[in-house]
Amino acid sequence: SYSALWLALLYWTLLHSPNKCSILTKADLQELEKINAWVITHSSPCSATCGLGLRTQELCPIGGTASISTTTCKMRTVRCLDTWQCGLKTQTAISGHKLVLDCLEEVMDAMGRFAFVVSWRFARGVITSDDSLFTRYEALSLDKVVLDPLREEDSGTYRCDVLDTGRHRVKRMYKGVRVISPNMLNLDFAKGLNQWEKPESLWPNITTITTGKLYPSSTLRNMVLVSVSICVALIAVIFLPLWAFNRKMPKAAAQPFHDNL
């Protein structure tokens, strides 16, 4: 570690020197050849976009002729953190099934169960990220909440907070859970669309007509005649009294004129 620090200070001095960079002497090169260090040649992206994740790094030794030897390289897995706020995610589950809410996932397996402090809070019956609505929730497992069987009163928002051994927050996750009855309509749009396109899969005892006319021509003719007859009858019932009333009105208006004469 001291040799790597010395090498870094040497590079920093050369880069920030007010004079022009001078050529290393033979003695300087011999001194550098004695330094052995490991450098990171490749690093993968963080496995998690939020919260604690894992990153794989490739380490290769450098020394001797100052060239990287790929034959003795090794891989290591380290923790990574882009942001500890994961926001709110929702999911719909069916009552009676098993539901597992995992807070650490693969990080727990890689780093160990006792490398973190995990706490859960629960807001019953609402999907929210308002921290004032949450109360403490006792989870039987350290890193996950297991609901088996899932009940309708388990619906709400579960909040997970993860602290490392230094009591620094490394993750906060909100998980909104909607619980529906198994007798409710299937919310899978693609599957439901396929069922509606094939009605025989929904009602096997009903025979569907796919070709030909739905009704015979005589039935259609009778339906038209009945509709026309009903319309004519309604017109007669409405307009005949009005016509009779209008015919009586002139006679009633002319009667007082003859009486005055």
For residue range 78-104, list pLDDT tens digits in order.
888 888 898 899 999 999 999 999 887
- Chain segment 165-195, per-residue pLDDT in tens: 888 888 899 999 999 888 775 556 666 667 6
Q: What is the pTM of this model?
A: 0.53
Q: Residue 145: which residues within 8 A CB-CB, separation 6 or more?
A: 100, 101, 120, 137, 139, 158
- Chain segment 113-123, per-residue pLDDT in tens: 677 888 999 99
Helices (H) and strands (E) in the chain, counts: 5, 11
The CATH code of the domain at 85-180 is: 2.60.40.10
Distance CA 208, CA 193 (A): 17
Across the range 141-156, mean pLDDT stands at 89
Residue 91 and residue 178 in contact, taking contact as beta carbons nearer than 8 Å: yes
pLDDT of residue 33: 64
Which of the two residues, 23 and 261, has the higher pLDDT score? 23
Asked if pLDDT for residue 59 goes beyond 50, the answer is: yes
- Name the residue with tokens 């001194």: 31
For the chain, give every domain's residue range.
Answer: 2-81, 85-180
